[in-house]
Amino acid sequence: MGSFSNSSSVINEEDKNFYYATQWSLIRSRFRQHRLASISLIFLGLLYLFAIFSDFLVPYSSTQRFSKYNFSAPTSIYIYDSEAGFSSPFVYGQKKILDKKTFSWKYEPDLTKKVYIQFFTEGEEYSLFGIFKSNIHLFGIDEETPVFLFGSDRLGRDVFSRTIHGSQISLSIGLVGVSLSFLIGILLGGVSGYYGGYIDDLIQRFIDFMISLPTIPLWMAFSAVLPRDWSSLKTYFAITIILSIISWGPLARVTRGKILALREEDYTLAARAAGASTPRIIVKHLLPGFSSHLIVSITLSIPGMILAETALSFLGLGIQPPAVSWGTLLQDSQDLMAITNQPWLLIPAIFVIGTVLLFNFVGDGLRDAADPYS
């Protein structure tokens, strides 16, 4: 029965890696070949890093106001000056002038006032992760002249700082919300798929019902119930829960479908024929079988969550000021005036679009990688 006598007598190193590769390492190597997805993953990682270290990265806190500089356009940063030649980055001070035609305030660079940007400078105190107290910021200007990379808003707050601060809520709500709805989804979907019958029918019809509810009125109803005097942390969690209660349905469907398919796989039957108990089958054969697919569908449902939070907050139903998220930032750009006169207020939208696209690219790559046998 020497069935291998010829073909595999010489195994080279590369083959060996392939032979001994686990499912996960196969997925990883397939994912790496997917260039767009890999790059997107790196960018996503950077975004999350920014969110985590936002206090350090940005010069100001989300509430710091420069009342003299409301609606200031993004500050230009210079490294060249006709007199001094090249130097470290600096900005010019700003003069506020009244435009005689439109009777609106405009800012113009005050070429006489040159302020250098300082790195690792001391600024407002913050606490990283709530533990490490520090007042060192990546960059800043410790004078009257502020630096607004993305301009400033109606109250003279730095849009750049607020966008990065806001990413904390916007990016985390996707993760927290999805893991919550994932928990509900996997539980109900799993029960529905594994037991089938009337339980399955009941859960499926309930999901039908949940999906058929019009989302925006439901959000409004839920948020109306939230007490206004709750702290922003409490509201944050409440919003997350609301979002996940509404969005677990599709995840439960995916789980159920996958379980139904895996339950009938011959290898599951083989384990049952060998006398395996139900928990063993679930842990050993079913869960690993669809974990890769779940990761894909989770990745693809995070953007939905982020968009939902943005939409809610944009409508003023979600995160309440003074907490910032991309949605609350976009609230400032609700009117046409803002868009024509202060287009920089839309910069947070670019972040929303970018993040959603990145997640979709990563999800696409994962989906292609998850099934090496398809």
Partner 1 sequence: MQRILEVKDLSINFYLREGVVHALTDVNFEVFENETLGVIGESGSGKSVTVQSILGILSQPPAKIVSGSIRFEPESRNLELNLLPTYGDTYRNVRWNDISMIFQEPMSSFSPLHSIGDQISEALTLHRPELSETDVLSVCLGLLEKVGIPSPAMFFKRYPHEFSGGMRQRAMIAMALVCNPKILIADEPTTALDVTIEAQILELLESIKSEFNMSMIYISHDLAVIGEISDRILVMYLGRVVESGVADEVIDNPLHPYTRALLKSIPKIDQPIESLDPIEGSIPSPFEVHTGCPFYSRCTERLGEICLRQKPAHKTYNNGHKVSCHLHA
Partner 2 sequence: MHDEKVILQVNDLKKYFSLRTGFFSETRYIRAVDGVSFELYKGETLGIIGESGCGKSTLGRSLVNLYNITSGSVLYNDGDQKINLINANDREKKNYTKSVQIIFQDPFSSLNPRINVFETVAEPLIIHRYPKEEIEQKVSEVIAQVGLRDEHLRRYPHSFSGGQRQRIGIARSLIISPKVIICDEAVSALDVSVQAQIINLLKELQARYHYSYIFISHDMSVIRHICDRIAVMYAGRIVEFGTKEEVLNSPKHPYTEALLDAVPKISNRKSKGKRKILSGEPPDLSRERIGCNMFERCGYRIDACQATPMKLSDVGSHHLTACMRTKEIQLNGLSIEAKQP
Question: Binding of partner 1 at residue 2 (CB under 8 A)?
Answer: yes
Question: Binding of partner 2 at residue 86 (CB under 8 A)?
Answer: no
| CB 29 to partner 1: min, Å | 11
Stretch near partner 2 under the rule CB under 8 A, chosen from 21-29, 160-168, 172-180, 322-330 = 21-29
Question: Binding of partner 1 at residue 212 (CB under 8 A)?
Answer: no
Question: Binding of partner 1 at residue 20 (CB under 8 A)?
Answer: no
**Cα torsion through 90, 94, 100, 101, rounded to 10:** 50
Among 110, 156, 280, 295, contact with partner 2 (rule: CB under 8 A)? 280
Among 205, 211, 221, 278, contact with partner 2 (rule: CB under 8 A)? 205
Query: CB–CB of 356/307 below 8 Å?
Result: yes
Question: Binding of partner 1 at residue 279 (CB under 8 A)?
Answer: no
137 DSSP assignment: E
Helix, strand, coil shares of the chain, percent, nearest 5, are: 60, 15, 25
Number of other CB atoms surrounding residue 337 within 10 Å: 9
Beta carbon nearer to partner 1, 29 or 64? 29
Mapping DSSP onto H, E and C, the string for 42-67 reads: HHHHHHHHHHHCHHHHCCCCCCCCCH
Q: Per residue in 17-54, is it b (16+ CB within 10 Å) or e — as a string? A: eeeeeeeeebbeebbeebeebeebbebbeebbebbbeb
Q: Which two tokens stand for residue 249?
A: 């349905």
| Helix (H) / strand (E) containing 26 | helix 23-33
Closest CA to 311 of 228, 248, 223, 249: 223
The item of partner 1, partner 2, none sharing an interface with residue 6, based on CB under 5 to 8 Å by kind, is partner 1
x/- mask, partner 1, residues 25-64, rule CB under 8 A, reads: --------x-------------------------------
Among 3, 12, 82, 374, contact with partner 1 (rule: CB under 8 A)? 3
Question: Binding of partner 2 at residue 20 (CB under 8 A)?
Answer: yes
Question: Binding of partner 2 at residue 288 (CB under 8 A)?
Answer: yes
Q: Ramachandran region of residue 151, left (φ > 0), alpha (ψ -120 to 50) or beta?
A: left
Q: With contacts defined by CB under 8 A, how many residues of the chain interact with partner 2?
A: 32
Amino acid (one-letter) located at 374: S
Torsion sign across C-alpha atoms 211, 212, 214, 220: negative
Rule CB under 8 A: which of 128-167 touch partner 2? none
| CB 269 to partner 2: min, Å | 6
Question: Binding of partner 2 at residue 19 (CB under 8 A)?
Answer: yes
Positions that interact with partner 2 (CB under 8 A): 1-4, 18-23, 26, 201, 205, 265-267, 269-277, 280, 284-285, 288-289, 372-373
